[in-house]
Amino acid sequence: DGGITQSPKYLFRKEGQNVTLSCEQNLNHDAMYWYRQDPGQGLRLIYYSQIVNDFQKGDIAEGYSVSREKKESFPLTVTSAQKNPTAFYLCASSSLSNPTDTQYFGPGTRLTVL
């Protein structure tokens, strides 16, 4: 069935290591997004992409990188330059054809830096 998948569900990383979070969707959505959520806080936009091979920085892009080589996939790399990477990472996608279309989320990846 259609939806958004993220893997892994839990991820542990040592300080100084880069790590890549996977996000795949089969909803044929044009736009994809990455958010970060810290405990008790709201969502903060890291990066978004509205078309293949193009993406834009969100509010907190420093220390992160993305790619959009395929419409279905939007992986996020958390680099060693990200000072406080421990957080819940959520990927979302949406259609762009209608202003009433909204975003749908994957189940998230919980990243812990040891």
> How many residues sit close enough to another protein to count as binding (CB under 8 A)?
19
Q: Which stretch binds another protein (CB under 8 A): 12-20, 65-73, 74-82, 86-94?
A: 86-94
The secondary element (H helix, E strand) that includes residue 111 is: strand 109-113
| 22 CB-contact burial (10 Å; exposed 0-12 / middle 13-18 / buried 19+) | middle
Q: Which stretch binds another protein (CB under 8 A): 12-20, 34-42, 69-77, 78-86?
A: 34-42
Distance CA 35, CA 47 (A): 7
Binding test (CB under 8 A) with another protein, winner from 19, 103, 111, 113: 103
Q: What are phi and psi of 7, to 5 degrees?
A: -145, 150
Please say whether the beta carbons of 71 and 1 come within 8 A. Answer: no
Position 43 contacts another protein (CB under 8 A): yes
Shortest Å, Cβ 4 to another protein:
9
Sites of contact with another protein (CB under 8 A): 35, 41-43, 50, 88, 90, 94, 96, 99-100, 102-108, 110
